[in-house]
Amino acid sequence: MRPSRRAPDELRAVSLERGVVKYAEGSCMVKFGDTHVLVTATLEERLPPWLKGQGRGWVTAEYGMLPRATLERTRREASAGKQGGRTVEIQRLIGRSLRAAVDLEALGERQITVDCDVIQADGGTRTASITGAWVALADCIGWMKARNMIKTSVLRDNVAAVSCGIYNGTPVLDLDYAEDSEADTDANFVMTGDGRIIEVQGTAEKTPFSQDEFLALLALAKKGVARLVDLQKMAVA
């Protein structure tokens, strides 16, 4: 029995609310249960120096947590003077995941920066961030289309992400903090709308896992991502 009494293949209650801040070209408040992330997408007519003049754009991401998003207060990274290793790892993952679904040539020489700020954390902040980031990105691209800034399609497919893990010996979908801190194995899957894999990150801090266990997690993830993609489609419809 999971602490939340969910079935092994059951997501938490997910919501994707668009247009939650006034200035951003795209935004989304994404909730996976008690994990709440505010995502904004910012369009800028500039590029990182190493990309200039190549006829392509760029999508990048930054990630942060409000200090009291967590059970105990976490030190503010701006005050500590640097972003921690976990933050850097997550924001690189978000950026790579989104770029896999974007036609950077069609975007033109512009940069979209996706900011994912965790308001409240209860496990799965990186997967919620990616899932919500796609919605904010889609809105930003819609904003550009409405202004005739782009012609062809820029977004190739949906991108959504979910975590899976082995909890008390059972493969389960979408771990919350209570499960995550107890799980033997934890894997994050980023997938497209058509079920292909963008990124897999499986980690066994305690017990290494077998290929069969891994495949069970992958099957759960496919199911979860399919449901998240449906929710994304409803959100942007």
Tokens of 153: 């399609």
- CA 111 to CA 143: how far, in whole Å? 14
**Four-CA torsion 120, 123, 128, 130, nearest 10 degrees:** 110
Q: Which residues 140-179 are close enough to bind its own copies by CB under 8 A?
A: 157
- The 3-class SS string of 113-160 reads EEEEEEEECCCCHHHHHHHHHHHHHHHHHHHHHHCCCCCCCCECCCEE
By CB atoms closer than 10 A (0-12, 13-18, 19+), residue 202 is middle
Residue 58 φ/ψ, nearest 5 degrees: -150, 145
**15 sits near its own copies (criterion: CB under 8 A):** no
Q: Decide if residue 120 touches its own copies (CB under 8 A).
A: yes
Which residue lies nearer to its own copies by CB, 201 or 237?
201
Which residues are registered as beta bridge partners of 164? 173, 187
Nearer to its own copies (CB atom), residue 183 or residue 237: 183
Report the residue number, 167 or 214, with the smaller CB distance to its own copies: 214
110 annotated to bind ligand: no
Of 47, 51, 119, 178, which one interacts with its own copies (CB under 8 A)? 119
Q: What is the CA radius of gyration of the chain?
A: 18
Selected from 8, 13, 52, 89, the binder of its own copies by CB under 8 A is 89
Residue nearer to its own copies on the CB measure, 9 or 237: 9
Site size for its own copies, by CB under 8 A? 68
Binding residue numbers for phosphate: 86, 124-126
Under the rule (CB under 8 A), what is the footprint of its own copies?
21-24, 27, 34, 38, 40, 42, 44, 62, 64, 66-71, 73, 76-83, 85-89, 91-92, 96, 99-101, 113, 115, 117, 119-120, 122, 157, 187, 191-192, 195-211, 214, 218, 222
Binding residue numbers: 86, 124-126
